[in-house]
Structure 1
Amino acid sequence: MTDKATSGFTLTLKNNEEARLSQIFQSYSNDLGHMPLSDFLRLSFYKHLITNSTPMQSILNVFQQAAGEKTYLNKDRFFFAINLLSRIIFPDEIMPLDLIITKILTEYSEPSYNSIPTFDDSISILFNEGIIRMFEKAEEGFLNILMCYNSQNIANGRKVVGIQQIKNKNLGILSRNLMRFFKSKGLFPSILSVEEFQKVLEKIVPAYDKDMKKFYTYGFLYKFYDKEMSKSELSSIETIRGEPELRLVDLELLFGKIALDYFPMIEDVAEKVMEMIENKCELISQPKIAVKYSLDLGSDFLLNDSEGLKKIHIGNHKKSAVLRPFKENLDILALIKNPPRVPVFEEIEKMFDDERVPPFPDMVKPVQENPPPYILPPITYPIAKTSAQDRKESPKKENKNRSETPGVKVKFVELPGRFTSNSPEKPRYESFAEMRKNLNSSIYPETAKQMLSNPAIQPCLIREVFIPPLAPETVTNIIESSFAYQANSNYHAAFSALLKAKSQWLLHEKTDLLKPDIELFFEMAKGAIFESCKKDEIALGQYFASKVIYDRLGFNNPDRALLYCGLGSVLVHLGHYKLALRSYLMAKKIRERCIGGDTIETATVYNNLGVCMFFLSRYQESFAYFELSEAIFMMMLGPHHARTLTVKQNINKVKRQNLIATPDYKVLWSKQFVDPYPKRKKKGKGKKKKGKS
């Protein structure tokens, strides 16, 4: 006998979809029609449902919630588990069930972006609740491995890619970088050798194309171990075609496989995994990993275009035009005698905490006035009296002069809607589907007229304009030339002019140190130049180094907000939106206290706060900040200013999000009220009877 679902869950599917899902359930279940946890995980691997954002721990939670007290899923509970899993994988979608059914019914010819391990007995041992709960405890440590040994972070010499980006974009690390981590923990060569590591790696990430087979066959891991493993600092390595990229689930299975095969002195499987994860790698007690990057800041190959000459053929002629791409002759960093140290994000968080920067605000949740169990009494409304009762209880009319006109009778207007129910002709989700389809359609004519906003373009920050204090005439001319060079993308000349202006000002003042507000202007202007030429990391270090000058300013000096505005702009570009939001909240606090909330500078901060809220998917708060900024710009600058138009475009963009759109609700019911003062019909005059003659 088969167990029926007792949850009362029903799933409405098309006939072909139900047949296909039933076929998939039968292919992954046993002869009794039961699907245990291991088979459910195997299905999740083959259908690419396991990612960094939905690891095996999430699959286990869905399985336990759908199975209830059972240790398996039947057909009905399998459909229930698919519905729960759709809400986890697609939390922001309106119809997640349709998306996950499409994903499950899609046949994948090869694992192009997610690896599928070899499902043997040793791998199946790891698919139990106890082992997966251990992986859940060490999840923070695994994510820190993915962050610290990320190739982009190693190439930049700092943590540019954070954990949130790794989870959202499903990023991984190269197998050679994982060998570096094992070397730092002493696993090479005391516990396993390179040959054994590659053997385990081939089990977890088997080769599915020629490039991966070539990588495993040619022994690139052995060559890397002999050449690079002796270095203590992490340096950038060249990419090799076919090298496997290890994600969160790959690390968990690889650590578990090593624990099963190379800890023979321990008999219990859970103790083996705990020995590997905690005692050897310390991923639970010390999840943060200390690494040291080696980066040569003298080179600028990451941010400048180093392409050579390109030939462009003109028409059918044999002649060709030579295109010389713009490239500065000198590196801008060569002008800096002491390059700024780029801080890690933990240092920025510590600085924010020391300066009492407002914390990251929690999501505002609506609170019901009378939540269950409904302690407050219900609100009652008086029922209108009928016309008959009103006539009985109405007081007697007083004698009035016939010349006075009678008063106007009060008539109640009926509520909107009709008395009969007007149910929608089609379900609401189909109406939303049409709205989503219209969003993806071409809207070029409307965007050209600035009537609509292109949803593919993100909201825009409004950068701060750093204006120097009152300066001598010669210095002012040099600073203006620096701004002109920066606007024309000649950043080397802009930086040189800025250094020259500072030296001229020092000669004019006959001092070695300028006032704090002047020093802060030059430091912030340098950071703005770095930010313009897309050196966001160096700009972050420049703004962070300005903290020393910031401390010399008075408490009520409005220039104190410039530091946090610069930090917020760079943090948005680097993708750290929570830190950027805290930075702009501090700038908002300073400007509202020093210059007021109805100024252009404060409205600029409001717009940038709206951008941060947008990237954090908090669209209603983003919309409120944009509206406030627009109102101030309209009052101070007018409707045709560039800042006003930018905020208007941002408002249009945030309105296109699904969570901010207000659907059209139809009134499904209405209540009838009897008019207490109805219009009375005039009595017709009767015909006079004819008298008898």
Structure 2
Amino acid sequence: MEQSVTLLKTEEARLDQLYHSRCDEDQRMDFTQFLLFVLDRSIISNKFGLEVFYQAFKEAAQDGDYLDIKSFNYAIVWLSKIIFADEYNPVETMFTTVLMDKTITHQKDLVGGRVPSTDKDTLAVLSEEAVLFYIAYMDRLKILFASCHHNNSMESKRRVNWKELSDKNMGILAGSFLNFCKDYFLIPHMFNVEVLEGILFSILTPLHVEESEYFTDHKLVGQCEGDKKKISSSYEFISGEPEILLHEFLFIIGKIAYKTVIASEAETLEDKLKVFFFEKLKFPSIENPIEYAVQLLSGEIDPEEDLYSSDEDLESEQLDDPQQKLLEFIERRTQQDENFVLDYEEVLQELELSLPPLPEKPKVVQENPPPYIQPRILFGKHLPKPEEDDKDKKKKPQPRRQNNRKKDEKPKKIYPFEEYPPKPREPDNLYHFDNLRNEMNENIFPTHYNALQCNPGVGPCIIKEVLFPPEAPQEFATLIESALVYQNTANYDMALETFERCRDEWRKAESGDDWKKNEQEIKPLRPEIELFFELSLGSVYESAGRDELALSKYLSAKNIKLVYNHPDQAFPYCGIGSILFHMEEPVWALRAYLKAREIREERLGGDTVDTATVYNNLGCCMLTIERNQEACAFFELAEAILEVELGSQHERTLTAARNVKKAKRTVLNIKPEYPPLWSFAALNPNPKLTKKKKKKGKKKKK
């Protein structure tokens, strides 16, 4: 049975008012204005997205480009049967939703839809041409949208799929979109975070005060700067952080492409979207996306396989997953370095000649060993014993002690000893039940925060060395910075390629034009610069899990000859120690760190950050070979130096502090509690005050 609804005159007038508010001068409504009306009325969602409303517009316009009042009402009725199909009267529900006005609560929160700004650039990405382009890539855009969710990007396995995001109308946070821009190298290569903040503000108009403060206080810029200083496996939520739905995600991507893509062949919006989707997002190329979208909506082309058929399909289609990129990098490097074989016997022989020996365990010498009492040593003649002739004589009574008190002075008050403490009450069952209830009700977060309940079997954490790049010309400094960004974003292949390219070009620049005639004429760089590149390549290999290649790079860096007293000679030994520690060779790692400690104490001093880092790593090696007391001493020394130099909240200081707690939990220093065996007398600190009596004067003699 066809459902119908009768509107009141006021409701009909309100509907006409809404229609005319979005019309042009000729009282017609194009697709962009219809889309703004849908966004204003908060009808669009993840489940019913742009493709549904585009079909409704074309169905009502009868393949035209505009809607009149009659076709507008028809589009509303057509949408009601799709969106509210489960309702008893979907038309009535639809008109109720459409006619509901926006309200502002007492907390100044706007209840209603989020409408983007109506500037020229934003209206361009809301046009019919742009929406058809989104529809052509809708399947892959949904996969990309789901992969940006913070639960999926921070965990190794998927926790939220597209079906759940669609059914619950869940979005992604602004910080998650920021991470997406970093993962795809959009920031800082195409634009900076300030540009992204402006784009988000134009699409995500604030709905309440906290969202407005999020943009006015530039919290997105703070999130970007905070992520550079820490590495976290969990997402930190920010107050007022806006949530991005699928259609808003598409508008933001479209505006990024429209404003940041600069190419000679990309002048129109469609060309810029093609360049952005193909080169940056790595989507497959479609010759004519707009025609493809029209054929897809009309049913002439079968859609691709169901997006949420299984989680395995989602994982296989997820693009630029860091774990997947790491596996691909290891596979490629394994094929390239297939003939690379590291002779460990030669490595150990080389290290044996340059590293100090393993120190012996400290021997504790007792001051008074058993049998504890030293025998008396007698020498010479013994003195004669005194004669006891006066045995029977009685002892003379001792003279009575004179009383030095004055005549009217009272004797001193004798304070008694403190009484013995009462016998402690033996705990009963009720006492144990109360204690158990209190322990269950108390918050255990502080104990987790202080690492008191963590697993003592977890190994200690070493601190990696920080390599500072040398002073370089601008072009080479840019390459070094790009390589470091690639390494921090787990794009190890590009990091290696950029480091090697920078070193080769720098060598050619230093050699002049002689290398063009003969490549053997290329001169090496200064030893400090060559050392930096070797250590950087070893660090990239170490981050990628290629320990053998990293060890070879550190060994070659060790053989670079520097000035005799150069402090950077310790860096190769620190790298060798880190690799050997992760290869479960703590003894050799300890010897390497001892060599680094010897160099730094001699040339930098014992109270520097670099030396304290070596102390911490020495403690890790000592703890691994079960020399716990020495490890605890190294950890405490490192923590004290780092706290003075860097502060108590620095990452290195916190790492050393956690290592101290791990070392102390492995040493069982049990000190039982015992009751006091005696009591001491104590004077009353607040005695009663007594008034002094006046002295009687002596009578004068007559």
TM-score, with length taken from structure 2: 0.41
Answer 1 or 2: higher relative contact order, Cα 8 Å, separation at least 6: 1
Which structure is higher in helix share? 2
